[in-house]
Amino acid sequence: MKEDRGTEAARTIWRAWSGGARIGALPDSCRPRDLAAGHAAQAALAPYAGATIGWKIAATSAEGQRHIGVTHPLAGRLFARFAHADGAELDAAPMHMRVAEPELVFRFGRELPPREAEYERPEVLAAVAALHLAIEVPDSRFQDFAAAGAPQLLADAACAGHFVLGRAVPDWRSRDLPAQAVAIAGMDGHVHHGTGANVLGDPVAGLLWLVNDCRVRGIGLRDGEVVTTGTCAKPMPIAPGARVTATFDGLGAVTVRFA
């Protein structure tokens, strides 16, 4: 029996992902033509990539959207096999994008099932159990990911790669998250500064967007899942041998090393 388009796209993406290869574009036979088809191809990655731990949001700043030629955020699955603890060492050699991003992450303490009515901010925040600090190390299976277009980027799990989850933040509900100062330090003493406002104006706005984006596609958020909301500062270039630390003023830091 011939594969459906989503399965064929997912198989092609996963072959490149697991083999460290890059592709110019998905074949015409399975290239997603719209956002729904891109989401379907991403969902079909599960049999290959395995269990998920939650979601990431790509393109949560105007600059990020311009860079990849989209006009809205993109949701991608975070796969458990690519999740790491603070201080992890990752192999930089097969990476294509080679950047690290400081991010604020919400972890749910109860389920938010799919429904017709839109979720509002108070209800979503009431379901959050913790706020974590993190570094995302995104990547793409496309050689020219900036020109791939939204449907193909969705099929590519919205440029999901490695994900380093740091500690939970105490008393986070009293923090002004849009004003939260963030710095990411990388190679040769370079430091990029930013704030939580770089994430759609407010990391909670990113969280709310993700919950409702999933909702309209019939997907709920599960107890224990995490949502990493997007980079708070300009992504930091990395290379083999680099040590990257993201510092969240008054909250703590998270570190990743690249072999």
Work out the pLDDT band at 1, boundaries 50, 70, 90. Answer: very low
* Structural domain 51-258, CATH architecture: Alpha-Beta Complex (3.90)
- pLDDT over threshold 70, residue 45: yes
Domain boundaries, the chain: 51-258
Residue 203 has pLDDT above 60, yes or no: yes
Q: Locate 254 and state its tokens.
A: 């998270």
Q: Distance between CA 80 and CA 52 in Å, rounded? A: 5
Per-residue pLDDT for 102 more than 80? yes
**175: which strand partners?**
none
Give the Cα separation of 154 and 58 in Å (integer).
10
Mean pLDDT value across residues 192-213: 98
Instruction: Report how far residue 202's alpha carbon sits from residue 217's, in angstroms, rounded to the nearest whole number.
Output: 23
Within a 13 Å sphere around the CA of 216, how many CA atoms are in the beta-carbon half? 10
Categorize the per-residue pLDDT at 188 as very low, low, confident or very high, splitting at 50, 70 and 90: confident
191: pLDDT strictly greater than 70: yes
The average pLDDT across 208-213 equals 98
At 124, which helix (H) or strand (E)?
Answer: helix 121-126
Are 61 and 199 contacting, i.e. CB atoms less than 8 angstroms apart? yes
Q: Is the pLDDT of residue 60 over 90?
A: yes
Mean pLDDT score of the chain: 96
Q: What is the mean pLDDT of residues 74-99?
A: 97
Compute CA distances 175 → 71, 121, 124, 178, 248, whole Å. 29, 16, 17, 9, 12
| Three-state secondary-structure class, residue 202 | coil
DSSP-assigned letter for residue 98 = -
